[in-house]
Amino acid sequence: MRDIFVKTLIDIARSDENVHLLTGDLGFGVLKPYWEELPDQFTNVGIAEQNMTGIAAGMALSGKVVYTYSIGNFPTLRCLEQIRNDCAYHDANVKIVCVGGGFVYGALGMSHHATEDIAIMRALPGVVVIAPGDLTEAEAATKAIYKQQGVCYLRLGRGGEQRIHSEAPDFQIGRAIKIKNGLKVVIFSTGGIFDEAIEACNILKKSNIDPGLYTFPTIKPIDKQTIIECMNSYDYIVTLEEHNYIGGFGGAVSEIISEVKNRNCVQIRIGIEDIYSSIVGDQKYLRDVYGLSSSKIANRILSKIASDC
């Protein structure tokens, strides 16, 4: 995803000299094509994310469209006060880019796990929160946040993600993307764990359950209309995220469901339990340990349906 982001941003910046990219002293391999072609639209601020965010706010309030770029928690949690006070409060045109959502940097330990960022960023007034599910969505999201006034948070994977969409979907901020219809169960997925959602659907088919499937690249503003439509069409809504299940995507969907009168569907929230990982391993390994592999997602859904029968 990060390669697609950089390639797309280069295309945008070529045609708009007000676009400026700030990095916190990392990403040199992937950012090199950008700074070589557009050196006057690039600044390395060093390992100083709070300063990076303050600089971004000042540049944005002077007419720039500014992207900040760093790993995992560093462009978000480390500089939360600056995002809140300098950017969000002033509706500054700052686009915060996190590379490594969830367990992408699993081998580096919990300091590099971005597992609370969705909840925290969506709690800030006026901030748009986007987590694309594949390379196609990442490209579309990069274009969309450029056109969106104000603070946007773009949560990316790292590299090696699949291009799941066979063609470019109708990408709109605030709208989910339907992959397929189903019966009884529908899965809502956000972010790079979309690949596990697809495989979980294939596993469930072997147990005679054919789920519907949506990807929600936008977490805030959430697609209320799609959620309500699915509540009327399915018995179970499953929310899937590589993030703490408290306050994140599942929480956003729960907020909509809780406001609907006479609801008959049941929500199954699948995410990281309310713990930090003390285990070191790659992303696939940690997903399985914490119940986010395709097989464990499918088993969780089957167990819930069986217990309700």
Average confidence (pLDDT) over 146-150: 96
Q: What is the dihedral of CA 267, 177, 128, 109, to 10 degrees?
A: 70
Distance, CA of 287 to CA of 272 (rounded, Å): 9
DSSP H helix total and E strand total for the chain: 11, 12
Average confidence (pLDDT) over 9-29: 93
Average confidence (pLDDT) over 115-120: 96
The predicted pLDDT at position 72 comes to: 83
**Residue 168 clears pLDDT 80, i.e. is over it:** no
At 254-285, the pLDDT tens digits run 999 999 987 889 999 999 999 999 999 999 99
Give the Cβ contact number of residue 58 at 10 Å. Answer: 13
**Residue 309 clears pLDDT 90, i.e. is over it:** no
Distance, CA of 287 to CA of 294 (rounded, Å): 9
- Check residues 262 and 141 and name the one with the higher pLDDT: 141
| Residue % of the chain over a pLDDT of 90 | 85
The predicted pLDDT at position 158 comes to: 78
The predicted pLDDT at position 126 comes to: 96
The predicted pLDDT at position 228 comes to: 96
Q: Give the domains, in start order, of the chain with CATH numbers.
A: 2-156 (3.40.50.970), 177-308 (3.40.50.920)
The predicted pLDDT at position 161 comes to: 73
Helices 194-205, 294-308: inter-axial angle, 10-degree rounding: 50
At 182-239, the pLDDT tens digits run 999 999 999 999 999 999 999 999 999 999 999 999 999 999 999 999 999 999 999 9
Burial, 259: exposed, middle or buried (Cβ in 10 Å; 0-12, 13-18, 19+)?
exposed
The predicted pLDDT at position 169 comes to: 78
At 23-65, the pLDDT tens digits run 999 877 889 999 999 999 999 999 999 999 999 999 999 999 9
Q: Which of 83-87, 167-171, 177-181 has the lowest mean pLDDT?
A: 167-171
